[in-house]
Chains A and B, each alone.
Chain A
Amino acid sequence: MKSMAELEAIRQRTLQRINLRKEDEDKNIRVVIGMATCGIAAGARPVMMKFMEEINTRALSEVTVSQTGCIGMCRLEPMVDVYLPGQEKVTYVHMTPEKVGRVVAEHIVNGRPVTEYTIGAAEDK
């Protein structure tokens, strides 16, 4: 196992981050990934890993990532919901690790949803 001392340092940094998040509760952003059998088979796991990496590299302390089950639109998986404070949720479909970078940069950091990846764009085709 990698060193536990390293983990102790991570714990300290994480506690600070959690405190920041508590202070700014109205700024919290949520990313929810579909992780039922359908999502997993369609490639949700690498998508989730990419979100974790991106959020970690950019040190976005206000973002939390969680998972949900199957919501009945298996053909559109992997699906990701992004909740920005005070805005309606945005649902991205057919996600790939490559698309995650843009969603993080344009939507989560800059507040502009990547329209072409959303469920609306997919259904219009």
Chain B
Amino acid sequence: MRDLSLHLLDLAENSVRAGASLVTIRVKVDERKWITLQLEDDGCGMDEALLARVMSPFGTTRTTRKVGLGIPLMAQNARLTGGDITLQSEVGKGTVLTATLDGNSIDCLPLGDLAGTVVTLVTANPYSPDFLLECTSPQGSMSFDTREVRQVLGDVGLNEPEISVWMLESIREELQPIFGGVIL
């Protein structure tokens, strides 16, 4: 993975598969430049046995192969900076994944295109779940909620190209003052 937004895209797909109705993506950068990425869903959750297994590259629910790299790769990239990853989950309630990274570290990946991540998720899952993006930095904060978009659009799927482009531009516009203008 080349940047953190791609990690979020990859991990959020797990929440979709867990049958969540709302997936919340939080990105926070504090004054010391530490980055907190949080992914919260109200999907089916995991029991303790599965929770222990998903941290390992050799733990996966898929049946076609014996490896699953999404969470292990995120964990590796967090630990390379001196940060860490935690997973809390309750069966029937949902899962919260939190990764912390030291943004000062030379090994810290750039944030990447968060707007692209959200729009890709929405386009892949045009009718459900809903996605909520919340971003905070010392420069300010923003949120983007697909439930608000859905209210205006009614039963139009969110994967129509013109809607995707609108969402992309609108999220980028709001993120720019918070995280700066560089999109890799």
User: Contact residues of A with B, CB < 8 Å?
Assistant: 1-2, 4, 6-8, 10-11, 13-15, 17-18, 35-37, 40-41, 45-46, 48-49, 52-53, 55-56, 60, 63-67, 70, 72
Contact = CB atoms under 8 A, between A and B. Distances in A.
Consensus secondary structure, chain A interface: helix
Nearest to B160: A14
Interface residues of B, number: 38
Interface in B141-182: 144, 148-149, 152-154, 156, 159-166, 168-170, 173-174
B124 A52 contact: no
Contact of A15 (B152, B156, B170): B156
A49 B119 contact: yes
A37 B173 CA distance: 27
B10 A10 contact: no
A11 B151 CA distance: 11
A67 B156 CA distance: 18
Given A4-B152, A10-B163, A52 B170 contact: no
A49 to B, nearest CB: 6
Contacts of B18: none
Contacts of A15: 156
10 contacts: A1-B144, A1-B174, A7-B149, A7-B163, A8-B152, A15-B156, A37-B69, A45-B6, A52-B165, A55-B161
Contacts of B161: 52-53, 55-56, 60, 63, 65
Given A35-B13, A41-B1, A10 B123 contact: no
A19 B163 CA distance: 16
B3 to A, nearest CB: 10
Interface in B108-127: 113, 116-117, 119-120, 123-124
B124 A66 contact: yes
Contacts of A11: 152-154, 156
B45 interface: no
